[in-house]
Structure 1
Amino acid sequence: MLLRRDNFRQFIFLSKSAVCLLLLALFLPERGAGQGTDKPDSSIVDELSSKADVAMLSNVDSGFFYAKKLLDLGEQQEFDYAKARGYEKLGWTHWVEGNYADGLKNALDAIRIFEQYGPSEGLVSAFLSAGRNLFEQRSYTMALTYYQRSEVLAQELVLEKPLIEAYRDLGGISISLGDYEKGLDYCTRGLAIANRLGLRSSIPIFYSHIALIHFNQGDVEQSVDYNWRAILEGRLTGNRRIVALGFERLANIDLQQGLYDEAIRKGKETLEMGQELGSSLIAMRAYMVLSRGYEGKRDYEKSLTNYKLYIEISDSTYNADKESIIASIEAVYDLESKQGEIELLETERALNEQESKAKNYYIILSLVAIGLLIALTFALFRASRFQNEHNSELQAKNAEIAAQAKKLGEMNATKSKIFSIIGHDLRNSVANLKQLLDLLNSRKITLKELKEVAPEAKQSVDASFDVLDNLLHWGLTQMNGIRTSIAPALLQPILAEITSHFKLFVERKNISLTFQSPGNLMVLGDAPQLTVVLRNLVGNAIKFTKTGGAIVVQAKDMGDRVRICVKDNGVGISEDKLKLLFKHETHYSESGTNDEKGTGLGLLLCYEFVENMGSHLQVETAVGKGTTFFFDMKKA
């Protein structure tokens, strides 16, 4: 018997209502089970953060204690804000300890969580922590990027206290880059805000920066005055790290003036404070002061003992940083592999839930539709439609899983090849340095002989540092820890930095390195990334140019554009090897004219950074005649 239209509509309505009630009955218990867990009050997190800030400056272990309490709170309560604060405080505490590689990793973890929730004071602090840890690893261009991001965000959010910290760190890095005028300007602005707000904790640091500026400018009297100001304010605010650094700088001034006993006294005070703080950096500087002080007093045995301790800490810090950087990048790959497995399990769970819901849906419809032919027809139609949708969704999920598996395979292959190259190249340099230190330790080499081989050892260490620096830049691009900021950039300071960096390299190969650029030429680009590009291109040119050759770096004004070229008259590149450049899967590398080694990362970084700045890296070459790398940038 056929149902009338009104009865049919009533039946459809009742069927849908029954299904909705069933689904509510199935889902409400699950939702209710998760509603009993409340997020902790953010004031508790802020209180623990404040305690960590105070504790880390006087006792590193106490700083770690509060930072880990924040992480535990975040894990137990599934509270991202607490976890982000915990990683941020770990980044700062590792910085105080002198473990800059782990400090950078924790700061980047904090940045990733904070950025999910938009601009905040915590994100400003995490930017500063990343910059501070990069600065201590001498990655000045990368550090400057994070400091500038913290300054912009602090101004945007009108956060005066974080802005003071940004000015403090921008002042410090300006000093390291030799821009004393800009450094003094940042310190003056920061001091004005700190005095107005009565925030005395930052004042000793600004005094310390100003003391270093006067020292570098040759004004010893003003440097001594500001160092004592920094020590006094540091004692008043409990910043023992600044007090220790103040004594170390005063000790170096005493050494210059021949006051060796006074320098040794201050060096011992510095060492004692560094050991109490658990800071390997301060202890290392104190040992160098003591070594030079005893050398001035002609007590060569004590001088050598303290110098060995300085070298031991310096060497262990270098190796620890190298291993931590590689470990942090390897951890990214492990994390991505585990994430892929989790996504596969989540997909399988979602499919099982859909199948379970479908069965319940069919049961309800079957019970309601018994004896009704039209209801049975409707149920079959709905089942067929649902099955088609289910199959389509399943096919899409399978395709997504296959793509993820392929991507993970490619990343694992890339990881294995890069770590194999880096392990081989860095091992040789560190082994040579270890052999030299063993000879010095066993007194099989004199100080005179050490001075003769020191330039060659320094060149080897500088080359290894460039490898690590490229690895750090590459790792940050893979962790999304680096962004491109397009702004007007003056070429002359960048070219001057490149000249200073490669001075020893070109002298040893007797290569002519010249720069052709108008003094006031500016481009639109990211200055730190442009520096990395030019450093790697010039380094490659030196590597493949024979002794007595020539390298020219040109910046040509082409109207609305500037063409930047790095040209050499070296060995050139064959056509088959040219095809391998700029490919992630090959990481092509070849030994230089003096058997210099490489990793293949340099040109990849150049290619990616040039693309990030809106240009394209091109190459012209001829075997036996030389190679030219060039790219165009918009003129500012």
Structure 2
Amino acid sequence: MKGKVLCIYIAILLLCTPFVFSKSQDQQLSPTELDALNRNAFEGVHRNMSLALSKLVEAEKLCAQAKYQKGLAENYLYQGEIYNQRGYLKRALTYFNKVLQISKLTNDSYNQARATEFISSLERKNGHYKNAEDLLKGSINVFVKLNKDRDIAAAKLHLAKIQTEQKDFKNAITNLQSSYSLSQKLNLKNVQQRYFYERAEIFAKQNHQDSAIAYYHKSLKIDTAINDRYGKTLSYLGLGKIYLQTNQLKKSSQYANAAQLTADSLGMQPMVEEAIEVLLNIATKQNDLAAITHLQQRLLQIVRETNKIDRTDAAQFFEVLRQQQERQLTIQSEFSGMKKLSETKTIILICVLVVMVIFIMLAFSISYNYRRARHYAAELSNKNNLIQEHAHSVAMLNQKIIGQNDILEEDNQLKSKLLSVISHDLRHPLTNTKSILDLIHLKLVSHEEAEALFSQLESQYARAVSLLDNLLYWIKSQVHGGTIEKSDNNLRELVDNLIEEQKLTLQKKNISVDNNLDKELEWHAERELLRIIFRNLLTNAIKFTHLNGNIQFLSEIKNGNMCISVKDNGVGMKEEIVQKLCLESQHYTVRGTANEQGSGLGLMLIKDLIKKVGGNLQIESIYGTGSTFTVNFVLAEEEVFADQLPA
């Protein structure tokens, strides 16, 4: 169908072309005639946009022939506005920029301001309200300097429209009132009508129905006086919607019907649709099933007609675009060969028409079946999409339920773990501490025994504090929705600090610690989380390392992962113990080489924490030789060491 309409339009356009060209070849038009040609072409835009654009393309050529720069700028301004109305915003912007370039070369500040005003309209449509407002204010300043009151009034209406869309009603009303004052001074009825209409729209958005109704009636009064049927349709629609909101259904129906009839007489199908939608809402409130059915059928018919018109108009418009682009590419060559072109145009036109007739006949036979197949395919696709959406919604709901069950199960397991640790590992040191204090207080031990008990008390205190830190941080890590503050942490520096904290324990067992981590190694995570992980790994290594033993911190890159290992030469573990420790829920503890006690919570905690930061814990051990605990995490690009980059 599109191909058929496209061909028909090309034929019509080419038939009209020779007459316009013949006039341009006979003589060059004066600036006054060129200005009139531009204005007349643009005034027909509401009747036939494609024909108006075609005439403007011809006028552009004549202006270029006559080297009339001001007329060329005005022509580009009109063409850009047509593209703007059609929705081709980027192409419209190209033409407005051409106007700016020409106007700057000719020092035409008036057309510069007009182009800027149109560019502001594009910015508003793109949602760039601040930029649109700034551009429009610049244009208004130029119009004020040039005393262009008509342009000032129109521009302030546009500015109020931008501010209304931003819900800046106060400034919008100020600009509307300023525009209205100018319209009264110049007797601009159309501007006065737009002022009342825009005020009514603002009151409607603010839910001031009575004020909105009053201003719609004022707008309607001017529309009737100047016989502006388009404006009357807008006012009728506004009144119909307002009365519908206030449940005055009879009045709403009267104005909606009036809007429908007026819009239908103008051929404004979108406004007819709006009016029918208002009537449909009225019928719905009245439970008038017959009216609802009739209106829905009417609305469906209008949609079909509108789609058909849009397709036809789009095909015509695309052809005009193609013609205009071709002429822009050949305009320079046409100046030198205009006479020869006029002699051969008839022959070329006949050949083109013959080809087009053949093409139309072929396209007509194909288009009908193609449209039917496309319609059925679209219906099938819509139904399939609806089924898929429902299936996806059900799947998502099931997934959420499963996730909630998993969270509840984790919470139950966490509660059991905490009760076990608190009831045994935390309570026992506190009870033992009380017993020691009682012995000392009752003076049942000697001074030397008291010193030994104080040393034991200090060790129990350190273990209890470490256990409490682990317990509190584990609880924090398990609570959903907690805030995590991440930062870049130098791991070598962090490990050095942990070694210093364990200095007393290391001296008691005469254990040496080698920090061989790279100086530039950093991990972007919460610092306290990293301290908990590596402090537990270090204290675990100290616990199971013999007197005069050695612990090493090592780092290397494997398969794009950073591996940080804590290696000791302690007692090591059997394979079955390693397998128990690898289980996330396994709670396991034994005494250390110096009979140190532990809760088993530390290893469970660090496994959870490493998992939360996207890493994993790997355990390797040889019984009687030692153990290696390795933390693996994904290496970001910025964490690659300088000395490991390729030369």
TM-score bucket (shorter structure)? 0.3 to 0.5
Q: TM-score, normalised by structure 2?
A: 0.41
The structure whose Rg is larger is 2
The TM-score with structure 1 as length reference comes to 0.42
